[in-house]
Each structure stands twice: as structure tokens, then as C-alpha cells.
Structure 1
């Protein structure tokens, strides 16, 4: 289910939305990490900083989803998207998957703005990634009897991810939890129990 066996071309053809998101995040990471003044300028222009959002720079509720603080930060998020994104894109469809991803990330950033202090600064796609986990949680809720294997795999992943959120330093806890909740709520609206789902 979450084991990727496709080659490069098959992966891109079967999961175009996930592929574009991964490529976009990697491209932006490289572009904003180049040793040029304008590269760092574009990075800091997109960072989620609550004080600057309060002053009217509302695009910072969106742009942090595509910025990462370091290589390991990028790799962890993109690996999660690479592994878990395809199955959700296949089940939900391209448009609905993108909706889950984007709204989870945006609402995670909005929550961080309203619930954290004015000095709070954050970047990363984690809120959107947790939205994917939340959507799978909704799928488990509707299909726990039909697909027990999904429940056995995804629930421990969600629990471990939430626990690690509180144990690791410099984590946007608000973004993770709100992203998870938003993904779950959207998933509840998408994955009606009468909908027939064919897993591989």
C-alpha cells in the first residue's frame, strides 16, 4: 500500500500532483539556498513570521509551505510526501488530494498566526503532510472493518508522528496538530462510507 515500486517515469505519470509538489519544494529549496543575496531575500520574503503577517504581509500564510529550514527538514517532509501522498492521490483524486494538501497547510499557518506569539517564525510543509495523515485517519474511520490493514498501518504512524511533534525541538506544534485535524475533517467530507474504494 505504501511501498513504492514504480520507476521514475511511472511515478510521475501515475501521481502527477505529488510529483509536482515534490519538484516544486526541491526547486525552491535549491533556489533560495544559493549563495546569492537575492536567494536569501526570497527565502526571508516567504518565511511565516507572525509580526510581519500582522503588518499586512498575508502571503506569509501560504508561502511557508514551500520553504524549509535545512536539508534534513526538506528530506523528511518530501520523503513523507513521496511515500504517503500517492495512495491518497489515487483514492481521493487529483483535485481533492490537492485540496486536502493545500487547505491543511494554509489552515495550519493561519492557526500558528492566531495562537502563537508575535515573534513566532516557521517554515515547512509539515502542516500539509499532517493533513495527509489526517485524511487517511478519516478513511480509517469509514473503512475500519473493510480495510483493517490500513488501520494497522496508518494509526501507529499518526500516533508516533503526534508524539514526536511534542518531543522534538523547534517544531511547529500548532501547525502539525491543526494540519492533522483539518485533513481529517476534509477527509470526512470526501470519503463517504458508501463510496467504493479499491486498494491495490
Structure 2
């Protein structure tokens, strides 16, 4: 920097200046605008001031976007959280979320779908979780943590109606993928076969397919809208989701009882939906088309109808409230997704 530029910069260092972001007056010696928080460029070399203004603009855009999105409700994220936890506790009070009791509450089993026509087992597993041997409710806790972290973003970006459709549709596609990949011959063919296919028919349950659907939605969202998103959202979503996806695929490859087909089915379902469905931009009217409300109602009705069938066929596996301390201490194991 030349001597003249140094003198100019030092001359402005002790004077009040105007914030280039919001127009407010910034006092002499103050490093940030007290109104909007943008850094003051008074006294900075020209190149540094230009860089500071660019950074401030990006941060301001990010915060404006975040404030607009965060102010929206995430009602059904917490409805689904409570529903999953409630059903897990009911199973524990019925004797433990495992084995025959897991089946009674609606876990997927190909045999019962094929020979008994129990169609609801494509839907109900989305809301069920397995008590793992020695790990208790870890399956439930891991999936509910994922829903708590990702669900509000998807619901606030797309709205509650679309979120419900994303969750149920991705979950059902994940269960269908699990159903189709019970292929003993293919499971024994190679390590890739063992990753995708299952060597035997066993009870399967879990919200992971629906959760991976949310990952797929955010992955496509970040790429599809990369030109209009602020920098912070570009880094978090889109290609920023790749490490999360790869880590989960690696976990699925190394742990044999994880239902990888359900995960991949849910992910691709969510990604495909996000390709064709738009999100609600900041400042956009909150009106939702009747079509999406109808799909939301149909999705919830499907879930209610599924668990209505569970109630009809539950037999002797109803909850026991007489001694909850004893029943909650029981352990069990079953394949999870």
C-alpha cells in the first residue's frame, strides 16, 4: 500500500463514519455498526475494506434468510417426535420393543404381507423402533435426534403440508425397498450384495428411511437453489450434506443388521420429491395449495388407518400399566432400519 493510502486510512480512523450496510452513524473508534452489526471500514486499507463489505453483505443476507425461515412453525416435526416416543413406550409397557411384540405393533415382515395381506406393514414401521440388546432405546434416540436436527429445517423451508408428505412418502418407499431386497441368493453373492440385500426375512422397523428422505430433500435443495441461497446455507446443504451421507453409508456397510435398502430408498424418494417441489421463499405468501393439504390429509389418514389395523390385530400384546417399572426393564433385539 502506498504512503498516500496509509495517510488517508489513518486520517479517517479517528472520525465518525456512515455504515455502508444500513446507513447509520458509526462513532469514531467503533469497530462495528451498533444498528446492524456490520463491521466499520473506516480506517481500513481499501482492499481490506472491500473484503469486509463483501463479508458483511453475505452475513447480512444469511441472517435475514435465517430469521425469515426460523420464524415459521415446525409443528409436525414435534408431532412425529412425540408419536415415535409414545409408541416406543407403549411397546415397552407391553413387554419390550422386540420379537413378536414388535410384529404385533406393525413391524415389516414379508411373510405377513405376502400371505396375510397385511398392507399396513408398509406404513407402520416408520413410527416404530427396536430395543437393542445392551443399548436399550439407542435406535429410537438416534433417529429422533436426527429428526430433531433436520426436521425443522425441512418443515420451515417447505411448510408443514409438504413436510408430512415428504416424511410419510420417503418412509413408505424405504419400507418397500426393504421388502423388495429380501433376496437370499443375492445377499450371499458378494459384499455389495450383503450391503443391499438381506439373506432372510425378519421383523424390521425404524424411522431411518423417512429420516434419509429428509437428507435427500436438503441435499437437492442446496444444489437446486444454490444461486439464490446465502453462503451459510450453501455450505450447510447441497454438497455440504455429502459427508453425512458417506458416513452413514459406511456405518451401514460395517454393521450387518442395518437395513441399507430402506436408507437408500428413503434418500432417493426424498431427493426425487425435492427435484419437483418448490420451497417457500422468505417473504413469500404462506398460502399452500389445496393439493398439498389434500396430500397431507391423505398421508396422515394412511398412518391412522395403518395403526387402526394394528389395534385390531394386536391380540394379547396390549400395554400393561399395572407394573410399568418391571416391564420397562425388559430387553430384546431385532433388525433395525
TM-score normalized by structure 2? 0.51
Secondary structure at 1:105 match in 2 = helix
Q: Is the 8 A contact 1:138 1:191 kept in 2?
A: no
Q: Is the 8 A contact 2:216 2:269 kept in 1?
A: yes
Q: Judging changes above 3 Å, is the alpha-carbon distance between structure 1 residues 131 and 197 closer, same or farther for their aligned structure 2 residues?
A: farther
Distance across 2 between alignment mates of 1:191 and 1:161: 27
Q: Among residues 119, 131, 140, which one is paired with 2:201 in the alignment?
A: 119
In the other structure, the counterpart of 1:144 is 226
Taking the TM superposition and a 5 Å limit, the aligned residue runs for 1:1-200 are: 14-36=73-95, 43-45=102-104, 46-55=106-115, 56-70=117-131, 71-117=137-183, 119-147=201-229, 148-150=234-236, 151=238, 153-191=240-278, 196=281
Structure 1 residue 40 displacement after superposition: 7.9
Structure 1 residue 52 displacement after superposition: 0.9
In the other structure, the counterpart of 1:4 is none
How many pairs are equivalent?
185
Q: Is the 8 A contact 2:166 2:213 kept in 1?
A: yes
Structure 2 residues without counterparts, runs of 5 or longer: 1-61, 63-69, 132-136, 184-199, 284-337
With 39-48 and 63-72 compared, the bigger mean Cα shift is at 39-48
Structure 1 residue 196 displacement after superposition: 3.7
Distance across 1 between alignment mates of 2:281 and 2:78: 26
Structure 1 residue 120 displacement after superposition: 3.5
Q: Is the 8 A contact 2:143 2:207 kept in 1?
A: yes
With 106-115 and 149-158 compared, the bigger mean Cα shift is at 149-158
Distance across 2 between alignment mates of 1:106 and 1:82: 20
Distance across 2 between alignment mates of 1:191 and 1:165: 31
Q: Is the 8 A contact 2:143 2:211 kept in 1?
A: yes
Q: Larger Cα Rg: Structure 1 or Structure 2?
A: 2
Q: Is the 8 A contact 2:87 2:128 kept in 1?
A: yes
Q: Is the 8 A contact 2:95 2:101 kept in 1?
A: no
Distance across 1 between alignment mates of 2:227 and 2:255: 34
TM-score normalized by structure 1? 0.83
Secondary structure at 1:169 match in 2 = coil
